[in-house]
Amino acid sequence: MSSESVTDGPGKRRRGFWIFLRDVLVIIVIAALVSFLVKTFIVRSFYIPSASMERTLMVDDRILVDELTPRWTGYQRGDVVVFEDPGGWLPPAVQKPAGPPLLEGIDKLLTVIGLSTSDSEDHLVKRIIGVGGDHVVCCNALGQIEINGAPIDELSYLDLPEGDTQASNDPFDVTVPEGALWLLGDNRDRSQDARAHQDLPSGGFVPLENVVGKAFLITWPLGRISAVDGHHDIFNGIPDAQ
């Protein structure tokens, strides 16, 4: 064995290790960048913290939200959407005790790149009932909501007490401004939705700019993996707003 091979062996191993470490770091950075871009422009994950959308979405369900498609297709009645609080929908945030700085930093980083759902409690999820220009009234003699004079039968997805067919116990008569939405929860008796915020400056309407995207898939728990149903057929017979 030559002296050259003896001296070069350990050096080559050290260089090999640093090259391997460099490659791993590059892969991690690229993966984080891709995840950040996906979260920012394409799809995002949230968990469900309340019962306001039962039976469609249950507490602690994890969902994926499509941020990209609605930028071209827009939103339609029936879509289940996640949105930022337009002001006054959520109670003042209670400051949680800070955890270990390292864990807090990791969680913030994972939230930025879309691998954590820690910001879910700062957002809400509801179903679109009225879009810009719609005249939405509750309720007719059968307990149904009417949109532009046409009744909708929501019993297939509403979580109502047995024997109850009233779509809302809180009457309302609103015309949705252009560029805004009228959003209600499927669990009408346990949802602090548009009906509960009509006294706000926004009138209970949510601007489109506050909408993050459309929920399209339940990803957790495993037994509930399924598409989020928009029940769009229920809204097919609604005439255009006058």
Note the pLDDT of residue 122. 83
Instruction: Flag whether pLDDT at 7 surpasses 70.
Output: no
User: Is 38 a domain residue?
Assistant: no
DSSP the chain: --HHHHHHHHHHHHHHHHHHHHHHHHHHHHHHHHHHHHHHHTEEEEE--SSTTTTTS-TT-EEEEE-STHHHH---TT-EEEEE--SSSSPPPPPPPP--HHHHHHHHHHHHHTS--TTGGGEEEEEEEE-TT-EEEE--TTS-EEETTEEE--TTT----TT---S-SS-EEEEPPTTEEEEE-SSGGG---GGGGTTSTTTT-EEGGGEEEEEEEEEESGGG-EEPP--GGGGTTPPPP-
Catalytic residue among 52, 120, 168, 191, which?
A: 52
Tens of pLDDT, residue by residue over 139-185, are: 999 999 999 999 999 999 999 998 899 999 999 999 999 999 999 99
Note the pLDDT of residue 1. 44
User: Is 9 a domain residue?
Assistant: no
Tens of pLDDT, residue by residue over 59-88, are: 999 999 999 989 889 999 999 999 999 999
Domain that holds residue 133: 46-104+120-235
User: Is 34 a domain residue?
Assistant: no
126: annotated active-site residue: yes
User: Is 71 a domain residue?
Assistant: yes
User: What does the pLDDT average to over 180-206?
Assistant: 96
Q: How many domains does the chain have?
A: 1
User: Is 109 a domain residue?
Assistant: no
User: Is 7 a domain residue?
Assistant: no
Tens of pLDDT, residue by residue over 28-63, are: 666 666 555 555 558 888 999 999 999 999 999 999
Instruction: Flag whether pLDDT at 222 surpasses 60.
Output: yes
Catalytic residue among 39, 120, 126, 202, which?
A: 126
User: Is 20 a domain residue?
Assistant: no
CATH code: domain of residue 202: 2.10.109.10
- The mean of the pLDDT values for the chain is 84
Note the pLDDT of residue 99. 58
User: Is 242 a domain residue?
Assistant: no
Note the pLDDT of residue 165. 92
